[in-house]
Amino acid sequence: MIDRKRPKRQPANMEMVGGKGSRQRTWEAVRKLRDDFTAYQVARVAKADDETVLTYLRSLDKGGFITCLTPADAPLATVKRYSLTRDNGIEAPRLTKDGKVVKQGLGTEAMWRVMRIIGDFTCRELAAHASTSEVKVSEDSANSYIRALKLAGYLVVTAEAKTRGIGEGRTLARYRLAPGRYTGPRPPMIQRTKNVYDPNLGKVVWQQEIDHDDL
């Protein structure tokens, strides 16, 4: 019997080339070629799989980031040519197949950006500053991200959490980015394996120790 299950997606660090994923490399190739290009040309510049590039170009086309220059009534065998019409900057647009913006992960991007701007913060303050009308960051999400970055050495504690008194609750711990640990605009990612991967460096920067007693 043939196993028709889809292969599991590899962790982000396994899909990277030079610290960048195929989507990011494709977008950078599109920006480089700009005015007139084909999927084949983009794939060669991006060093990415042809089908992966073509799928992303279709999303960019539907999202209004690129325009197909090839007439709609051209023969089926005609190689489609495209042009960049909306340059979104260095970061590759994260889109669905229908060209709609993917909101998953935007909260993490916002938290990483806010950490650099506001100095020291609590998990509550980070969640509040990172939230927008379109993306809401919960205090639990902020706390989980802070915990992971602290383990990976990106954050330092500036004030420990303290108990105020009986019935008065606790003051939250305060954190800030450790000196020299802002590695770039892309946020360090917490992978499914609980490792922390930094796409700016192109490597796993922290991984959970294996408990050999469980093996």
pLDDT of residue 19: 65
pLDDT of residue 189: 93
Q: What's the whole-model pTM score?
A: 0.69
How far is residue 178 CA from its own chain's centroid?
A: 21
Q: Which of 35, 51, 84 is the last residue of a domain?
A: 84
Confidence category of residue 3, pLDDT binned at 50, 70, 90: very low
Confidence category of residue 100, pLDDT binned at 50, 70, 90: very high
CATH number (domain holding residue 24): 1.10.10.10
Q: What is the mean pLDDT of the chain?
A: 88
CATH number (domain holding residue 117): 1.10.10
Confidence category of residue 7, pLDDT binned at 50, 70, 90: very low
pLDDT of residue 165: 66
Q: Which of 84, 115, 139 is the last residue of a domain?
A: 84
Q: 3-class secondary structure for the chain?
A: CCCCCCCCCCCHHHCCECCECHHHHHHHHHHHHCCCECHHHHHHHHCCCHHHHHHHHHHHHHCCCEEECCCCCCCCCCCCCEEECCCCCCCCCCECCCCCECCCCHHHHHHHHHHHHHCCECHHHHHHHHCCCCCCCCHHHHHHHHHHHHHCCCEEEEECCEECCCCCCEECCEEEECCCCCCCCCCCEECCCCCEEECCCCEEEECCCCCHHHC
Asked whether residue 116 falls in the same domain as residue 169, the answer is yes
In a domain, 215, yes or no: no
Asked whether residue 132 falls in the same domain as residue 58, the answer is no
In a domain, 25, yes or no: yes
In a domain, 129, yes or no: yes
- Number of structural domains in the chain: 2
Print the domain residue range for 145. Answer: 106-209
- What 82-90 contacts at long range (C-beta under 8 Å, 24+ apart), as own/partner pairs, is 82/30, 82/36, 82/37, 82/38, 82/39, 82/57, 83/34, 83/35, 83/36, 83/37, 84/30, 84/31, 84/33, 84/34, 84/35, 87/31, 88/27, 90/28, 90/185
Asked whether residue 40 falls in the same domain as residue 126, the answer is no
Asked whether residue 62 falls in the same domain as residue 153, the answer is no
Asked whether residue 61 falls in the same domain as residue 133, the answer is no
Q: Which region holds residue 207: left if phi is over 0, alpha if psi is between -120 and 50, else beta?
A: beta
Residue indicated by tokens 């260095």? 90
